[in-house]
Structure 1
Amino acid sequence: MTESIVRVPEDRAEEYRRRGWWLPLPITDVALGSSSSYADRCAVVDGDRRLSYGELAAAVDAAASRLHRLGIRRRDHVLVQLPNSLEHVVVVLALIRLGAPPVVTLPALREYELDHIIRVTRPVAMAVPRRSRRFDHLAMAERLRDRHPEIRTLLVTDDDRSATAAQAEELTDLTALTLGGILPGVRIPQDDRRPLAAEVPEPPGPRDNALFLLSSGTTGPPKAIPRTHEAFGHVVRSAAEVSGLTEASVYLAVLPASHSFVFGHPGILGTLSRGGRVVLAAPDDARRTLSLIERERVTHCALTPAVLLQWLAAIEPGRHNLTSLEVLQVGGARLDTTTARKAREQLRCQIQQVYGMSEGLLNFTRLDDPDVVVDETQGRPAAAGDEFLVVDEAGREVSAGEIGELLTRGPSVLAGYYRDDEGNARSFTEDGYYRTGDLVRVHPSGNLVVAGRLKDVINRGGEKIPADELEGVVLTHPGIGAAAAVAMPHPVYGEAVCLVVVNAREPAPTLLELRRFLEDSGLARYKLPERLILAEALPLVGVGKVNKVALRTEVARLIASDHPPADGQHLLQADV
């Protein structure tokens, strides 16, 4: 496949290499380069399944060979949408090892988002679970394959035997591919008759693309973010350093491992690069997670504020021994001062605020920052060489302490989205700074304080919901004449979606009907509105643009009132 990657200008790239920020190492060497030194040490835990470093390295090489036998070649792309599991870790590393960049995709995304991602990245294969959280991923993958014939192969975890015989012949057992011959009880694929090592191609070069992350989708469908080995390696090493990870560290991956925060910022890769142990879990049950911390003696974990609040509500004095916990990283949304202090008091560990983006820039409060700085700020750049500016609407730097838009560039930061010339023209300055769209100010400590967003986006517990994307899907409903999505306060997630609509016909759709329509349209469930307000007209400004400022004010006034919803307003508390 011909690559369409925007490169950092060569003069800056050579400086990054000369200063040792970009090293000539593939990501698999960053993560597993020292595995021979501690081959018997536990590397990854997934429930009752465990892989040592030696077993993980062997599984990655074997899976790379098996993928190669399936016809997946260097510079092919493979979409990976898997829950936290050994299969996820092995197949992503194997694809990176093979030089076939994985497109690492959150399990919560559905057809609407994936259709766009597939059009941009053109994967030749998809790796999915059969079912997850009562959702049929396999059926969705088959529908997407029908629309995108370049997808030749479906790799499916073998945790559900409900597939038909015809399906089974068309599918590749991902558990066997990644763990066959490594874990007891996992069958070895029938074609494994030749020596695997003889078929593993040479590793890709450091300047090659290692993988695709996805943007948070603040201006529409997610954008594909190509990360080269040398640039992403710099991010992983820098994040691991400021997080205090060592070979004695035990990292709990409880948020989706497909998220850059959990996968490599520093997350799974950062922990492996230091010789630590990764424990895979899911955020469904806070009490079960607390028990896992006690059982595995977890030292580090990354959470969003919403999940942290669930933890704090689940803690019962004397029930769990959480004394192993050293560092709790909180990111994805701004952590308020009250919750930060409460977490420190109840969990008895260091709180580390993290503000970053899949595009590259990572800011961390430091482990030796005073508590007041940790509570009030979102950190400063972790990686050497990363620059930032805070500018006004005209692009001029603001005075110290004033609020402006954050711009950034450096060895951690991408130079352009993949196959998106129009988006790149909007998102990057002529001298290579990335426009984050975030409003910040610089704290007297030198750390950044996030003050808001330029982009029209709703931040639901760390999940970014672009209002214009949601509105576009809502307007395909025949009963809706106009629509506007705005944030409303939520006691757990911080923000949730309030949808204000003008109906095109009677009777007006209910919130439940609209949610079902949006879900049937392939929209991810976390993007569904949690309140519906019917209006005679939307407030407008200028040449007819919806006045979101006035709309947010009116929604906040309505929600803050003591009165129940008026006629024509529907409120649904949903499990989303």
Structure 2
Amino acid sequence: MPWPESFVRDYKTKGYWTDEVLGGLPMWLPGAEDREAVVTPGRTMTYGQLDRAADRLAAGLRALGIGAGDRVVVHLPNDVEMVVLCYALFRSGALPVFALPAHRSSEITHLVDTSQAVAYVCADQVLDCDYRLIAKEVLASTDGSLEHVLVAGDPGPYTALSDVDADPVDLPAPDAQDVALFLLSGGTSGPPKLIPRTHADYACQLRMTSRLCAFEADTRYLCALPLGHNFPLACPGVLGVLRLGGTAVLASEPTPESCFPLIESARVTVTSLVPSLVPLWLEAAEWAQDDLTSLKLLQVGGARLGPAAASQVPGRLGCTLQQVYGMAEGLLNFTRLDDPDSVVFHTQGCPLASADEVRVVREDGREAQPGEEGELYTRGPYTVRGYYQAAERNRSQFTEDGYFRTGDVVRRTATGYFEVVGRSNDVINRGGEKVPTQEVEEHLRADPGIAAVALIGLPDEDLGELSCACVVPKDPQQPPTLREVRAGLNDRGIASYKLPDRLVILPALPLTPVGKIDKRALKNQVHS
């Protein structure tokens, strides 16, 4: 879904879009060859090593027949291989489809089929999950496009990613307006949709976020959240810090136990969290012995951070707080580094660019005034005009004049900052992970013990919302337990964050006058 030509000309004329493409590294910096590019608890990779590794992997992918325009589902943890693969794919013109670590066979099969991916790249095993078994299930379930399974680590019956290696070759550079990568939607209904981001719009995002967040060549960014998310990847994130010659420090998980020692040893200056993790970090900072004084900026996004937790960040962690509110489809809002505490603690920021066009639309279709609630609509130089292979969804979620209906209910202050109120769409925001109720309900209806079901979100102090499955059992004398319901969903191969936190057994579900499940009444019933 391309931007109209008049918008393309305008974005180019105003400098939002340039000829910059992803995949480049600042090798022109003095001493770039030996500068630290990527740091993990066990490995360090310099810019020279990253540059050569990306070139060799790009050539190796080309030797396998994976080239420009081919889609590759990337399902890797935060590690060096993930970064090298990103740059190799950008350089080869192949398009990464970023899966998330929690995804399992159901989601991966959907991503492969929707994108018609020719390759699936995964880890061998992380914690208790053997990703090679996921690959086996996906190969048995997909429609035949998948030709390669590449494994970081022990490949088992597949190809080792380390063996995909060849002498560098000249590769044609992509056009800046070509699609560079696919991110995933929050999945307001059904499985996640693919978000095509171009080189031009993503490079625009990287340039603007890096300036706003004061990233420089001496910035050391800790990526603690899964790298496949837009937030830690490019807001400005790992791609932003590597574009400037800084250092990307990768943590395997965002816990204080994993991250605090890395902050001390790698002298981390910036990191990003979702709100549910902030109380854990604040509490741990009270007793931890690690030196956190290098940390200058904490970005918090993915959901609304309450004022109580926000106000504790500067004192407990000794750094500036920046609230970030955005979406993988595009629009990003930030509190500014020099904003007063009253703004930083109580709002989720204002738009990144002056070219970000936003509307707040009330339920009656009228424009909301400052302080009134409404759904946020947006378009701009880094906000997509449509999902990939989703014509029906595009008709309902994008207006005829190109505005994206975000589904977020917000209030806009008199100064243009947003306060996020909730969602208009049927989705649960569980600690920044979006749980699509329709998808989970479809899986639950396959349970032989369930006659009817509705998934609702319940308020939670730590996660923002918990998911609650309201179930009418087929046999009221033997209703399913939460453990049984979760086990059944797990067997169906869905991500763990989509499993219900609570189970409520009911004799019937309340209905609207037209016979639909009345979730508003259901929430009131469960609360009472």
| Mapping 1:120-519, distance limit 5 Å | 120-148=114-142, 149-158=144-153, 160=154, 163=156, 167=157, 171-177=158-164, 192=166, 196-197=167-168, 199-283=169-253, 285-317=255-287, 319-505=289-475, 506-519=477-490
Question: For residues 79-122 of structure 1, what are the alpha-carbon distances to aligned partners after superposition, in whole Å with 9 as ceiling and x for unaligned?
Answer: 00100011001111111110111101111111222222222101
- CA contact under 8 A between 2:38 and 2:44: conserved in structure 1? yes
Instruction: Tell me how far apart the structure 1 counterparts of residues 197 and 101 of structure 2 sit (CA, whole Å).
Output: 20
Q: 1:65 to 1:479 in 2, by over 3 A?
A: same
1:46 match: 40
Question: For residues 169-210 of structure 1, what are the alpha-carbon distances to aligned partners after superposition, in whole Å with 9 as ceiling and x for unaligned?
Answer: xx2212454xxxxxxxxxxx5xx4xxx23x241221111110
- CA contact under 8 A between 2:261 and 2:290: conserved in structure 1? yes
Question: For residues 424-448 of structure 1, what are the alpha-carbon distances to aligned partners after superposition, in whole Å with 9 as ceiling and x for unaligned?
Answer: 0011111100000101111133211
> Could you say what secondary structure the match of 1:255 adopts?
coil
Q: 2:77 aligns with which of 74, 79, 83?
A: 83
Letter in 1 for 2:401: D
- CA contact under 8 A between 2:112 and 2:146: conserved in structure 1? no
In the superposition, the TM-score normalised over structure 2's length comes to 0.97
The share of aligned pairs that are identical, in percent, is 43
Query: How many pairs does the alignment contain?
Result: 526
Letter in 2 for 1:218: T
Letter in 2 for 1:26: V
Instruction: Tell me how far apart the structure 1 counterparts of residues 301 and 509 of structure 2 sit (CA, whole Å).
Output: 34
Bigger mean CA offset, 499-508 vs 99-108: 499-508
Letter in 1 for 2:19: P
Instruction: Tell me how far apart the structure 2 counterparts of residues 369 and 245 of structure 1 sit (CA, whole Å).
Output: 17
Instruction: Tell me how far apart the structure 2 counterparts of residues 437 and 310 of structure 1 sit (CA, whole Å).
Output: 29
Question: For residues 366-406 of structure 1, what are the alpha-carbon distances to aligned partners after superposition, in whole Å with 9 as ceiling and x for unaligned?
Answer: 00000110001000111341111111234331222211110
2:522 match: 551
Instruction: Tell me how far apart the structure 1 counterparts of residues 365 and 198 of structure 2 sit (CA, whole Å).
Output: 29
2:14 match: 19
Instruction: Tell me how far apart the structure 2 counterparts of residues 121 and 529 of structure 1 sit (CA, whole Å).
Output: 28
Instruction: Tell me how far apart the structure 2 counterparts of residues 332 and 32 of structure 1 sit (CA, whole Å).
Output: 30
Instruction: Tell me how far apart the structure 2 counterparts of residues 284 and 317 of structure 1 sit (CA, whole Å).
Output: 17
Q: 1:284 to 1:406 in 2, by over 3 A?
A: closer
- CA contact under 8 A between 2:468 and 2:504: conserved in structure 1? yes
- CA contact under 8 A between 2:27 and 2:33: conserved in structure 1? no
- CA contact under 8 A between 2:113 and 2:145: conserved in structure 1? no
Shift of 1:242: 1.2
1:182 match: none
Instruction: Tell me how far apart the structure 2 counterparts of residues 100 and 318 of structure 1 sit (CA, whole Å).
Output: 44
1:531 match: 502
Letter in 2 for 1:237: R
Shift of 1:34: 4.3
Question: For residues 292-316 of structure 1, what are the alpha-carbon distances to aligned partners after superposition, in whole Å with 9 as ceiling and x for unaligned?
Answer: 1111111000000112222122223
1:92 match: 86
Shift of 1:33: 6.2
Letter in 2 for 1:402: E
> Could you say what secondary structure the match of 2:149 adopts?
strand
Shift of 1:363: 0.4
Q: 1:68 to 1:147 in 2, by over 3 A?
A: same
Shift of 1:488: 2.0
- CA contact under 8 A between 1:362 and 1:381: conserved in structure 2? yes
Letter in 2 for 1:72: I
Letter in 1 for 2:22: I
Shift of 1:150: 1.4
Instruction: Tell me how far apart the structure 2 counterparts of residues 483 and 376 of structure 1 sit (CA, whole Å).
Output: 36
Instruction: Tell me how far apart the structure 2 counterparts of residues 401 and 33 of structure 1 sit (CA, whole Å).
Output: 48
- CA contact under 8 A between 1:235 and 1:383: conserved in structure 2? no
Instruction: Tell me how far apart the structure 2 counterparts of residues 37 and 360 of structure 1 sit (CA, whole Å).
Output: 35
Instruction: Tell me how far apart the structure 2 counterparts of residues 329 and 315 of structure 1 sit (CA, whole Å).
Output: 17
Instruction: Tell me how far apart the structure 2 counterparts of residues 292 and 534 of structure 1 sit (CA, whole Å).
Output: 45
> Could you say what secondary structure the match of 2:23 adopts?
helix
| Gap regions ≥5 residues in structure 2 | none
Bigger mean CA offset, 201-210 vs 36-45: 36-45
Shift of 1:508: 1.5
> Could you say what secondary structure the match of 1:234 adopts?
helix
1:107 match: 101
Instruction: Tell me how far apart the structure 2 counterparts of residues 542 and 426 of structure 1 sit (CA, whole Å).
Output: 24
> Could you say what secondary structure the match of 1:437 adopts?
strand
Letter in 1 for 2:135: A
1:184 match: none
Instruction: Tell me how far apart the structure 1 counterparts of residues 257 and 151 of structure 2 sit (CA, whole Å).
Output: 30
- CA contact under 8 A between 1:247 and 1:276: conserved in structure 2? yes
1:561 match: none
In the superposition, the TM-score normalised over structure 1's length comes to 0.89
Instruction: Tell me how far apart the structure 1 counterparts of residues 463 and 410 of structure 2 sit (CA, whole Å).
Output: 21
- CA contact under 8 A between 2:346 and 2:419: conserved in structure 1? yes
Q: 1:115 to 1:322 in 2, by over 3 A?
A: same
Q: 1:472 to 1:39 in 2, by over 3 A?
A: same
Bigger mean CA offset, 483-492 vs 18-27: 483-492
| Gap regions ≥5 residues in structure 1 | 1-5, 178-188, 558-576
Instruction: Tell me how far apart the structure 2 counterparts of residues 311 and 251 of structure 1 sit (CA, whole Å).
Output: 17
1:9 match: 4
> Could you say what secondary structure the match of 1:330 adopts?
strand
- CA contact under 8 A between 1:79 and 1:125: conserved in structure 2? yes
> Could you say what secondary structure the match of 1:512 adopts?
helix
- CA contact under 8 A between 2:362 and 2:368: conserved in structure 1? yes
Q: 1:151 to 1:65 in 2, by over 3 A?
A: same
1:65 match: 59
- CA contact under 8 A between 2:251 and 2:258: conserved in structure 1? no
> Could you say what secondary structure the match of 1:500 adopts?
strand
Instruction: Tell me how far apart the structure 1 counterparts of residues 374 and 254 of structure 2 sit (CA, whole Å).
Output: 37
Letter in 1 for 2:97: V
Instruction: Tell me how far apart the structure 1 counterparts of residues 500 and 131 of structure 2 sit (CA, whole Å).
Output: 23
Shift of 1:241: 1.3
